[in-house]
Amino acid sequence: MKYSILAVALFGCAIYYPSNNERDEYYSVRVFEDRSGAYYLVLPNGVKESMIYGDHEKETNIFFPDSSLIFITNDLSGISFANTENLKGFDFGFFYDFKTIPDPDVVGIQLNGKVWRQKKDRGVVIGYLNVDPSRKKEFDKIIDQLELRTFRRSNNG
């Protein structure tokens, strides 16, 4: 019985991603952590991660071989280190709205023709940039499957 419970604990939280034979090319990875818990994304093999720390915020950047990038930050103003350049055209009200609107979701086209997206989801801001328009659905699926696994609270005080 002990082993069957362990198996459920280990495999019960898996996210199903591709429907074809590419499942071995994707994996669920912990990309961010804050007081709410740990955030996971299903990512393809071959990506690289880096963490950036600011005064009051932190951000994980996930770099793809084609220069696409996914970011996740706890800066709820909507100002991602990675996506700052694309947001320069918005007035200050945009950042205020990003904090107060329940679930803002913004999409844009960069000057180089690539697409970007940024949204607030479960207490973090997540998005992508430098994505070829032909891969937009793939990146939408990745960030839309953001999973939050909350930490268990101890009863020991």
Number of domains the chain is built from: 1
Q: Is the pLDDT of residue 19 over 50?
A: no
- pLDDT tens per residue across span 46-93: 999 988 887 778 889 999 999 999 999 887 776 676 766 666 655 444
Q: Please indicate, yes or no, if residue 108 is contained in any of the structural domains.
A: yes
Q: Report if residue 156 sits inside a domain.
A: no
Structural domain including 95 reads 2-150
Q: Is residue 157 part of a domain?
A: no
155 within some domain? no
Q: What is the mean pLDDT of the chain?
A: 75
In this structure, is residue 9 part of a structural domain?
yes
Q: What is the pLDDT of residues 124-137, one digit of tens each?
A: 889 999 999 999 99
Tell me how far apart the alpha carbons of residues 13 and 102 are, in angstroms, rounded to a whole number.
Answer: 26
Q: How many whole angstroms separate alpha carbon 79 and alpha carbon 101?
A: 15
- pTM to 2 decimal places: 0.72
Per the domain annotation, does 38 fall within a domain? yes
Are the C-beta atoms of 30 and 41 separated by less than 8 Å? no
Q: CA 87 to CA 73: how far, in whole Å?
A: 15
- Assigned domain for 83 exists: yes
Distance, in Å, from the CA atom of 81 to the CA atom of 57, rounded to the nearest integer, reads 10
**Per-residue pLDDT reduced to its tens digit, 80-106:** 767 666 666 554 445 545 566 667 788
